[in-house]
Amino acid sequence: MAETRVEISDPESEFFASKQETGHEWELFKENVRPLKRGRNVRLLNHALKSHTDHHLRKTLVEKRRKLIEEIDEYDGDDPLFPWIQCIKWVQEAFPPGGECSGLLVIYEQCVRKFWHSERYKDDLRYLKVWLEYAEHCADAEVIYKFLEVNEIGKTHALYYIAYALHMEFKSKVKTANEIFNLGISRNAKPVEKLNDAYKKFMVRTMRRTNTADEEPKENNDLPSRSFGTVLSRVDNNNTGRQALGPQAKKPKLNQSSKAPLSIYTDTTGNQQQESDKSKPEYGSWLMLGGRAERNKENNSLPGKWRTFKVPQKPVVRTPAAATASSFEVFVDEEEECTEEGGEKKTKSETNSSSSSNTLPLNDGREIKKETELLRQNPLRHFPPNSFLR
């Protein structure tokens, strides 16, 4: 029996069909990779990107994430923040696109809420970076920066003031951004050189925007304009406007003291023409277009009930769908795959208990997606109300 050979013209499909490893798999999905400031491990990146086509590998990543969460709960060392940092770094590497399915935003929130009242980690740079990364994923990070200021978290680090000021500058609140830079300089936030350099660059951008605004021509809307586009001068606008209308626009002054009656003009030729028209027979009247019944025939239909009238329709021929296999692999969005990560279905009581708890289990894709969207809009939704007060 001759072996059937399928020709594959697509290089990407040919690569996946060969199952070979070249170490450059990230080239096929690099547009879906979220950049990291510290860079990425190419080996871990290639391994993670294969989960786009290997469903079994994706389940392995989800199981690994669940074990890391369990290790955080079982940690009994001197630095409780350390396993959280390790888990965050691994999730960033294992889920390059980020998004709701990664659960990264949920892990950020649980980490910062775990230690926000701890005096030990208020000046810890690692803890501050978790807060700042959390703020980058939220819709409006201003509420997070205000929370850090009220609770004195990261106030000794220049990184906090730089991120806060840049965010306010992005929102066109330049005055507030300048005050934040000055606050960090007055507190001698470390490193001082980094804060001063960022402030100098901010001042350069501010002066550049000011000069650009001054150079823009100002539109003078106070001057009246003529219908042909000629702008009139400011001096004696009323007189100039009257002159522009010409001598025909000047109305003669009526003599108020004159009591002579006004003579009304009468057109004698028009009256004679009208009388002559009346004497002619109506050969060109509407009677030449048919009788009244024929002209109004569209309005003589008998009224009836609408529900008794049926619109004729063409018969529809339904053909059974052909049970043919798809010739290509259908792309499944990452958000759709979130719903399949949970595995077994949960009972109603388990769902209610998990949603009411403070720590969200990261083995339910649907709950992760829902919680991620809620945190993006309200990042401090699980914090107590008294955490916003001094």
Given a cut of 90, whether residue 162 has pLDDT beyond it is yes
Lowest mean pLDDT: which of 42-56, 135-149, 324-338? 324-338
Instruction: Give pLDDT, residue 92.
Output: 82
**Mean pLDDT score of the chain, rounded to an integer?**
71
Given a cut of 60, whether residue 317 has pLDDT beyond it is yes
Work out the percent of the chain whose per-residue pLDDT is above 70.
Answer: 48
Amino acid, single-letter form, for residue 243: Q
Rg (CA), the chain: 40
Instruction: Give pLDDT, residue 356.
Output: 34
Given a cut of 90, whether residue 188 has pLDDT beyond it is yes
Instruction: Give pLDDT, residue 213.
Output: 72
Instruction: Give pLDDT, residue 350.
Output: 39
pTM attached to this predicted model? 0.57
Q: What residues pair up with 190 in beta bridges, in sequence order?
A: 157
- Residue 147 token pair: 């929370």
In whole angstroms, give the CA distance from residue 229 to residue 356.
69
Given a cut of 90, whether residue 107 has pLDDT beyond it is yes
pLDDT band at 384 (very low <50, low <70, confident <90, very high): confident
Work out the percent of the chain whose per-residue pLDDT is above 90.
Answer: 32
Residues 177 and 158: beta-carbon distance below 8 Å: no
Instruction: Give pLDDT, residue 315.
Output: 74
| Distance from the Cα of residue 318 to its chain's centroid | 42
Long-range contacts of 387-390 (CB under 8 A, 24+ apart): 387/116, 387/117, 387/147, 387/151, 388/147, 388/150, 389/150, 390/150
pLDDT band at 171 (very low <50, low <70, confident <90, very high): very high
Continuous H helices in 75-173: 81-94, 104-115, 125-136, 142-150, 158-170
In whole angstroms, give the CA distance from residue 151 to residue 164.
15
Question: Which domains occur in the chain, in start order?
Answer: 135-210+363-390 (1.25.40.430)
Given a cut of 60, whether residue 371 has pLDDT beyond it is yes
Average pLDDT over residues 99-104: 74
Lowest mean pLDDT: which of 6-20, 248-262, 287-301? 6-20
Q: What's the angle, vertex CA 267, arms to CA 264 and CA 272, rounded to 5?
A: 140
Q: Which of 187, 151, 148 is nearest to 167 (CA)?
A: 148
What's the length of the chain?
Answer: 390
**pLDDT tens-digit map of 282-315:** 544 444 555 666 666 666 666 777 777 677 777 7
Residues 368 and 362: beta-carbon distance below 8 Å: yes
**pLDDT tens-digit map of 36-79:** 555 555 556 555 555 555 566 677 777 888 888 899 989 999 99
Q: How distant, in Å, are the alpha carbons of 54, 260, 268 from that of 263? A: 102, 9, 15
Instruction: Give pLDDT, residue 96.
Output: 66
pLDDT band at 135 (very low <50, low <70, confident <90, very high): very high
